Structure 1
Amino acid sequence: MYNTYIARQAILDRNSNTIGYELLFRDSPKNQFPEIDPDVASSKLIIQNHLQGDIQSVCLGKLAFINFTEKCLVNKYPLMFDKKSIVIELVGHSKPTDKLIKIISFYYEQGYKIALSEYNLDPVWDVLFPYLSIIKVNIEEINPKRVLSVVSRIKPFNIKLAAEKVETNFQLQALAEVGFNYYQGYFYHEPEMVEGQTLAPMKTQMLNLISETFNVPLNYTAIADIVSHDVNLTVGLLKMVNNVATSTRVEITSLKQAAAYLGEEKLKQFVTILALSKLTSEKTDELSKQALITARLMSMIAKQGAFSDVSDYAFITGLLSAIEVILCMPIADIVKTMPLADPIVKALVSHEGLLGELLVLTSNYIVGEGDSLTKLTEIYGIDANFIHSEFVAASRWCQDLGIF
């Protein structure tokens, strides 16, 4: 019996809207795609148990880009998935054999979207163009300017170009000029520092709202006052009260009463999440979702053993892990405006301490980077199945919030 674990990486369009996620399969402790066993039943079980029921949650309702080797295609594993929910991503092919062409044409006729990965610009691949929806180019290995020669060849087939390994927004703009439609990489993790920038009043208000949650005891009047200046926050607060009061009818007469009804723990999570959503833009929505999932997963991992000492700080640290990019300001300047505990400041600014280690490991695990799963399981003694199930649960929780 195999255990599989899923990381993911967003694929965005030119307007920074997420069109889907490439799912990165990992096994413990090697952090790589698990070997496909000749036993077809066991191989099917991998997909059925760990993907079929959870794919919509993990991908937040977007397309799932799934890597399939020729053997997986021959065994018809893609047919286990709804053709509207996945993109078949071809990997591990050195050239388009007659067998591969026949297989691809079969899935094309079934209505599946197909993406060619590891594309090297060789004209030998042109034979697959009639069946492809997307071609992915690794711009670390291939100069994007060389792709210009391909643009005219793929145009009759309405194939979209996707750039992999995009690191900065500067690259993104240049790639759009070449003809790329989609982008995958860490460009939305790259802070764009704007020298001398000041925060707009609305953003300052949202940071004040987050800051209010750190006061002991909570000042419900101050929180209610800030919420009252924003219709969406007001509606959100009342919806939260309604969700909590599922078994009893609660008559709310003021925002202060609504805030107090939730209690400190739920109110803290509510205001930080809603405030974060108000700080986002089209370019930072994806990163905000990632921060929410990071926050939730960090808080759950912190309940286990070695990280229990920082469990009180885990959620807010994960939630603020994206704030530097969202606000386009150095994190060191942002934390000066907020009454954060010292461990949170050190974790956010320099990834110091146990909390910083938890932040790095959790963030890297989510995007499939490095040996985070190995460290979490072997060094900190956290069960890998627990991490995987909580990641799926965190993704589902983020989707259910419905705030983006």
Structure 2
Amino acid sequence: MPGPPTIFVARQPIFDRRAAVHGYELLFRGSAENRFTGGDVESASAINIEQSTAAFGLDALVGERLAFVNLSRGALLQEFYRMLPSERTVIELLESVHGDAEVLEACRELKRRGYRLALDDFTDAPHSQPLLAYADIVKVDLRQTPEALTPGFTSRLRGKRLSLVAEKVETPQEHRRAMAAGYDLFQGYYFCQPEMIETRDLAPSQLSQMRFLAEVSRSEVSFEQLEELFRRDVAMTLRLLRYLNSAAFGWRHEIRSVGHALMLMGVRPLRKWAMMMGFLRLAGDKPHELAITALTRARFAEQLGPPAGLEHHDSELFLTGILSTAEAMLGRSLRDVLTALAVPDMVRTALLDGGSRLGAVLRIVMAYERGDWPTVESVRTECAVDERALTDAYVSSLQWAETSAAA
């Protein structure tokens, strides 16, 4: 029987002017090949954070030094960096992130939470200039920026009280010139190539990840339900305990139980973790869109429950909405997914056959989503749902889903 799959990360040291290691940049690696082989940078950014904290453990990767972690635009806006300890992390914004109003507001929030911000592969491009107001560190690629080693270039940046990192330093001559130009930190093949680190990863099951996301997305999270879920999935429990027991989390007291561990972590970090571990692996190249769809359907169905005569079935309504996206997320038939899940019979019937009032509510939700207004009107009348209430519920559900996905 094959063992757990091997996962990879690379780290490259960043040296100070005395040639001491200042920190390590953590680099996503999807295979044993020591380079980024392309793909979705949003997924790479989020998976790198999740694996660094929960699969490898930040202590094992950087020890007591700083971790420099790349962040895409989406990962910044969804605050995935909050899985990382602010006092030990430098967030590197990728060069593809432009300083628009939404990004600048996210940078203000990142700084308010105590994180240091670095701009990766910085140039004098206009879209990068607004980000300088929030940056602590600027990283300059010597290969891409011909003027990088001129005193005029570095003096303009040092005038803004920024620490400067010379990247892609590949020769002794480049190192000496970067020192003379006033750079504070240095990184590149002259010192060493990125070091590959690997570990065996006992991955949580896809169904556990889906149930995890469903539970933490609810407005009232049940820690009893979460504890039962973690008890049934050894991999999720191991990742949780590894994270809480690391110096990154900063907790050094005895953890009495899985439930105690979940309470220590708290709802908001758990929701972030669920988003990263769940949708960013299950949904492939469209995690955010699927997340929004699932959460909107779940909340919409929950709000339609009382007028449809299901005021005491909010849990079943919410779960039905979440599971309605199972085929798209898991690439398996809905019937196969439900066979492996202990869901209430009314949920199973609603999803597979559309029967019962719960099934009728789901039909309204799905029809409204695709703009099938004749079906909406027909089923709405059958369920005695007011038309105005329907519109208000959909709008508020969509707003709630967007907020929850970014919370």
Same fold (TM over 0.5): no
TM-score normalized by the length of structure 1: 0.43
If asked which structure has higher relative contact order (CA below 8 Å, sep 6+), I would say 1
TM-score normalized by the length of structure 2: 0.43
